[in-house]
């Protein structure tokens, strides 16, 4: 088999092109793309529609961003700048890891499209903001003494990304209903209780008023995060 020697298909693997239109910058294109993704979702994003929002043709956009895939890489990295990671010398590594995980979750829920594309947006992890996020986590986990900090980070954020993806998908469904989350859950409960009839363990969980759905999601996330951190703590020397 002949090895492929062509360019790597990633915006981070090539230099930025010289713009032909100074008024239309890559940064402006990415900001508008993020706003469009937040408002309308991935399915609605196209270079043509984005160009219309910027009062520019799709051809003008391609002078700054070669493909839609590259645009998604840039959008993911733009959003990653919002994720906070406490400093490596934080006195309580669990509290710091919890804060970083919570910041990632909050960012993913503000931008519900991001979790589902993290593994699909080319080489998005090479972007400066995601790279900085990973470096700060590595510094934190190295400082506390994890023998394999990158494995610990992968374990933690596999959980966080998985939960955030599920949660964002649920909230997208709720948003499409035009109702509040509480109202949507209340309307859904009769059908849910009918579906679990005859399944004793499940039926018990649906027998009472579910309560505040936001609080339930927060509790569920915190429970799983504690379990993951308990397991990671056992890997620390001593």
Look at residue 161 and tell me whether its pLDDT is greater than 80.
Answer: yes
pTM: 0.84
Separation of alpha carbons 145 and 237, rounded Å: 7
Q: What would the pLDDT profile of 12-42 be if each residue is shown by its tens digit?
A: 665 655 444 456 899 999 999 999 999 988 8
- Cα 81 to Cα 11, 72, 134, 205, distances in angstroms: 17, 15, 12, 39
How far apart, in Å, are the Cα atoms of 217 and each of 105, 118, 166, 171, 214? 11, 22, 11, 11, 5
**How far apart, in whole angstroms, are the C-alpha atoms of residue 75 and residue 98?**
25
Q: How far is CA 87 from CA 37, 105, 191, 197, in A?
A: 31, 19, 47, 50
Question: What are 27's two structure tokens?
Answer: 């940064």
The CA-based diameter of the chain, rounded to the nearest angstrom, is 66
Measured distance CA(129)–CA(121) in Å, rounded = 14
What are the structural domain ranges in the chain?
Answer: 11-80, 93-233
Domain 93-233 falls under CATH 1.10.600.10: no
Q: What is the pLDDT of residue 99?
A: 97
pLDDT of residue 20: 47
Instruction: Write out the CATH class of domain 11-80.
Output: mainly alpha
Q: How confident is the model at residue 166 (pLDDT cuts 50, 70, 90)?
A: very high
pLDDT at 66: 86
Do residues 14 and 67 lie in contact, with contact meaning Cβ atoms separated by under 8 Å?
A: no
Torsion angle (degrees, nearest 10) of CA 71, 75, 77, 80 = -170
């Amino acid at each position: 088999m002949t090895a492929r020697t062509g360019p790597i298909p990633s915006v981070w693997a090539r230099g930025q092109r010289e713009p032909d239109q100074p008024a239309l910058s890559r940064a402006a294109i990415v900001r508008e793309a993020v706003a469009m993704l937040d408002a309308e979702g991935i399915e609605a994003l196209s270079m043509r529609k984005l160009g219309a929002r910027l009062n520019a043709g799709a051809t003008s956009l391609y002078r700054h961003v070669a493909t839609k895939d590259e645009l998604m890489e840039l959008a993911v990295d733009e959003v990653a700048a919002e994720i906070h990671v406490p400093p490596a010398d934080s006195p309580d590594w669990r509290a710091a890891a919890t804060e970083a995980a919570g910041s990632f979750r909050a960012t993913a829920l503000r931008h519900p499209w991001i979790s589902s594309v993290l593994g699909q947006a080319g080489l998005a992890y090479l972007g400066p903001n995601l790279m900085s996020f990973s470096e700060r986590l590595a510094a934190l986990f190295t400082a506390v003494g994890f023998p394999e900090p990158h494995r610990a980070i992968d374990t933690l954020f596999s959980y966080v990304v998985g939960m955030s993806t599920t949660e964002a998908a649920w909230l997208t469904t709720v948003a499409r209903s035009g109702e509040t989350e509480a109202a949507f859950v209340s309307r859904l409960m009769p059908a849910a209780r009918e579906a679990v009839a005859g399944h004793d363990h499940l039926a018990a969980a649906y027998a009472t008023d579910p309560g505040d759905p936001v609080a339930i999601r927060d509790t569920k996330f915190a429970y799983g995060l504690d379990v993951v951190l308990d397991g990671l703590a056992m890997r620390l020397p001593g």
